[in-house]
Structure 1
Amino acid sequence: MKLKFLFFVMALSAMGPGRDAPPPDVPNPETAVRPNPARLPPIAQTSVEPEDPASIVPPEVSFLSADDATPDDFLWNSRPIVVFADTEGDPAFIEQVEALRRGAAALAVRDAVVILDADPAADSIWRRSLHPRGFSLVLIDKDGQIKIRRPSPWDVREIGRAIDRLPLRRQEIGRGSVSR
C-alpha cells in the first residue's frame, strides 16, 4: 500500500502545478505607469565600437615541407594531413594542394596541419613511416594513429567530415561518443 501511495505522489508531483490557478499578472502596456525620462539618471556613455570584419583574422593552416617537421612535433597538438607524390608536377598532387589551400579555414578549425612531400629521393621520416606509393593522402589524428589513407585527391569538405567523426574530435567539440 505504501508503494502505491509513493508512486501516486511521484506521478502527481511530476505533473506540475494545477491548471486551475489564475494566470500570472501581466501589466497592460497601455495603462502601465511609465517613468518620466527627465527624472531618470543620465546613462553613462561608453564607446563600444564594433569590430571591423576585415580586422578579424581567421585561423590559418600551416603548409610545411616534409623536411621541416616530424610526426612527434604534432603529437596531441595537431592533425597532420600528409600529401605524398613522386613529383611536384603530379596532377593529383597539384589538385589536392589547391583544394587544401581553398579550404584552409575549415581545416584550421579542426587543428590540421598540411605536410607536403613530393620528393621520394629525400627519404623523409614521413615516407619511411607511412610507405606511400605514388600519390597518397594520409590523415593522422592527434594521438599519432593513421586514420585515413586515400590514393586520390579528396575534397576538403570530405576531409572535414572524416575528422569530425574521429573520437578525439568528438570529445573536443563536446559530442562525446554520440553516433549519427
Structure 2
Amino acid sequence: MGNGQELSSFRWEKRLVIIVDTIQKNTYSNQIKLFTKSLEELEERDILLFYYDGKNLLDTSGKNTDLHLPEGMFQKDSELILIGKDGSIKMRSPLPIDPKEVFQTIDQMPMRRSEIKKGQP
C-alpha cells in the first residue's frame, strides 16, 4: 500500500467498516448493496466503507486505497470488521450481516450516545 495514510488519521473523525471477502467475492458486492441502501445511516454515524480482497484494501468504488492497517487485522476469509472512532476494533462478524446490527452496535457506544445528546445526527 505504499506511503499511504495511517489508520490513526481517522481517529476521532470516522468509523470504518471493512468487509473482508477473500474467497467468494460475491459476498462483498451483496454486502455493499445492503449498506448502500442505508446511506443516510452511514453518514449519520460517520462511517466509511472499505473492502479487503485478500491483497488490497479498496473503497466502495473499487479503487485501491493507501490506508495502512495493523498487521494481523484480517483473521478470517469472510467477515465484517467495525473500527470505532478511537481506532479500536469494536465488532467482528461473519458475513452476511444486516447493516442494522452494525448500526445498533454503534448506537450503543458511549461516543455515539454523546453525539446524539449533542444534537449531532
TMscore range, shorter length: 0.7 to 0.9
Of 8, 13, 20, 1:84 maps to: 20
Match of 1:71 in 2: 7
1:115 to 2:58 alignment:
no
1:90 shift after superposition: 1.9
How does 1:22-171 map onto structure 2 within 5 Å? 69-86=5-22, 90-118=25-53, 120-122=54-56, 125-126=68-69, 128-171=71-114
Pick the structure with greater CA Rg: 1
Distance between the aligned counterparts of 1:168 and 1:75, measured in 2? 12
Contact 1:79 1:140 in 2 (8 A): yes
- Counterpart code for 2:55: A
The offset of 1:78, in angstroms, is: 0.5
Identify the structure with the greater helix proportion: 1
Aligned residues: 107
Query: Alignment partner of 1:157: what SS?
Result: helix
| Cα 1:73–1:158 shift into 2, 3 Å | same
Question: Where does structure 1 lack aligned partners over 5 or more consecutive residues?
Answer: 1-66, 176-180
Instruction: Provide TM-score, normalisation by structure 1.
Output: 0.52
Give unmatched runs, 5+ long, in structure 2: 58-66
Return the alpha-carbon distance in structure 1 between the equivalents of residues 79 and 70 of structure 2: 11
Report 1 or 2 for greater relative contact order, CA contacts < 8 Å, sequence distance ≥ 6: 2
- Off by >6 Å, runs of 4+ in structure 1: none
Q: Distance in 2 between matches of 1:90 and 1:122?
A: 13
How much has 1:69 moved relative to structure 2? 4.7
8 Å CA contact 1:84–1:132 kept in 2: the answer is no
Would you say the 8 A contact 1:163–1:169 is kept in 2?
yes
Q: Distance in 2 between matches of 1:94 and 1:111?
A: 21
| Contact 1:85–1:93 (8 Å) recurs in 2 | yes
Give the % identical residues: 25
The aligned residue for residue 60 of structure 2 is: none
Q: Distance in 1 between matches of 2:81 and 2:88?
A: 10
